[in-house]
Chain A
């Protein structure tokens, strides 16, 4: 089946997070991987001088568990979509095309801007939808519940303005 019941996918994700705590002693989170990727790129370009940057001393740029989660997700989603025959290259998602037309350039500019804010915001809040939204919330972490609430408050407001006011 191309798409499973969201409840089955959700329950299995919940079990997966439990195994991550059990076997790796850590929550499942994704945003740290982008800091490590950025740090690894800078390491290639600037060498050991990146150790002067305080944030890379806290989150060392290296290939480890927190880095590998993202290539893993890409592979997993690739396998899922290929196995169900839904893999296909697409620049402009249908909902975007129906609001703003199918010009890839406009979609890419807005996606890039969104990605930049997402990168800043996820590190500012110390986690993302998986780290705070799922792994943190299920531990009843207050910082995670607050973060996840404001991810959606900000996200809903932005999407409403983008689609209903601008679009």
Chain B
């Protein structure tokens, strides 16, 4: 089966979603980030496990994604953003993140390891919240979601340079930050 054929096969994709989820959940749990104490430790700036996992995932994925894109094997999936959507939405997310102590992916991982606050609080809350958003979406999409639209979609477009001039320094910066965090004993 070709890649395009695989991508267009709905049944195969549904199974792949499950498979990606299983591996992702396994890695999140092994990385320690499905624990409330670890995530809250990050938000209280006493435990930097979340930054270490996310930083190494972004650095690795950034190089891998752009190599695959260079060879025409993957496409970008980015959306135009706005202050109304990404800043306001980000802050509402942050309020929930700090109260719950899990995010939408890690809350599912926490359910898998037996955390009942994640199941009866987090998952139920997320389903309620998604429903509230679905109901206010028409009003929001006509008003706040498009306020202050960003003019560019990706960093290389702002800087008007070849993407590798951004990928390499950003990856290096992430590695330096992780080395500094490690050397400070965090």
Residues of chain A at the chain B interface (Cβ within 8 Å): 1, 3-4, 6-7, 9-28, 30-31, 33-35, 37-39, 41-42, 53-56, 63-81, 84, 86-96, 104, 107-126, 128-130, 132-163
Contacts and interface: CB of A to CB of B under 8 A. Distances in A.
A27 B22 contact: no
Interface centre among B10, B99, B103, B106 (most CB of A within 10 A): B99
Given A4-B31, A24-B17, 17 more contacts: A13-B61, A17-B61, A30-B103, A41-B127, A55-B133, A56-B134, A69-B17, A77-B34, A80-B25, A81-B29, A104-B116, A114-B121, A116-B132, A119-B127, A141-B154, A143-B86, A158-B98
Interface in B62-94: 62, 64-65, 68, 73-82, 85-94
Nearest to B35: A93
Q: Is the interface of B mostly helix, strand, loop or mixed?
A: helix
Given A73-B109, A137-B58, A117 B92 contact: yes
Contacts of A112: 120-122, 124-125, 128
Interface centre among A25, A34, A66, A133 (most CB of B within 10 A): A34
Interface centre among A14, A15, A153 (most CB of B within 10 A): A14
Contacts of A71: 18, 21, 108
B184 interface: no
Nearest to A21: B74
A13 B53 contact: yes
A128 B104 contact: yes
A139 B90 contact: no
Contacts of B64: 14-15, 17-18
Given A6-B31, A6-B56, A142-B158, A119 B7 contact: no
B130 A80 contact: no
B169 to A, nearest CB: 11
B97 A118 contact: yes
Interface centre among B15, B78, B94, B123 (most CB of A within 10 A): B94
B166 A120 contact: no
Nearest to B78: A141
B19 interface: yes
